[in-house]
Amino acid sequence: MKYLVKSVETYRVANEAEAKKLIEEAKADRAYTLSKYSSEYKCSKAKGEIVEEWYRVILTKDFNLEKEPDTYVDVTYKTEAGFFPEPVTKDENENEDKEEDEGIEF
């Protein structure tokens, strides 16, 4: 059996208020111990001007003691459309070739 001991998650949020809210929510969650957290202002510049601003939030969550784990944790991630490219599909010509091969019986 494998046990999740620790997880470090990095988030990007729009502003300082969202960063504080995310940290407070993590502190209140009883599914883990929030052992470390930080938030940092970040920006992107072009020609010396700020073109984009955000905050990076890093949360370190402890789930089990490494020497004596006692809780099984199932980790799942939910993503919204647009994060990953569309799956590769077969070309129509590939399907025609397959249909021709399937027509031969012995």
Q: Tell me the DSSP string of 6-63.
A: EEEEEEEESSHHHHHHHHHHHHH-TTSEEEEEEEEEEEEEETTEEEEEEEEEEEEEE-
Alpha-helical regions (H) of the chain: 16-28, 92-102
Task: Give a yes or no: residue 67 inside a domain.
Answer: yes
Any domain includes 1: no
- Whether 84 maps to a domain, the answer reads yes
Does the residue 13 lie in any domain? yes
The whole domain housing 25 covers 6-102
69 is a domain residue: yes
Output the pLDDT for position 82. Answer: 65
What are 52's two structure tokens?
């984009």
Summarised one tens digit per residue, pLDDT across range 35-77 is: 999 999 999 999 999 999 999 999 999 999 999 999 999 888 8
What does pLDDT average to over the chain?
A: 85
Count: domains in the chain: 1
Q: At residue 106, does pLDDT exceed 50?
A: no
pLDDT score at 80: 76
- Write down the pLDDT at residue 57: 98
User: Above 80 in pLDDT, residue 103?
Assistant: no
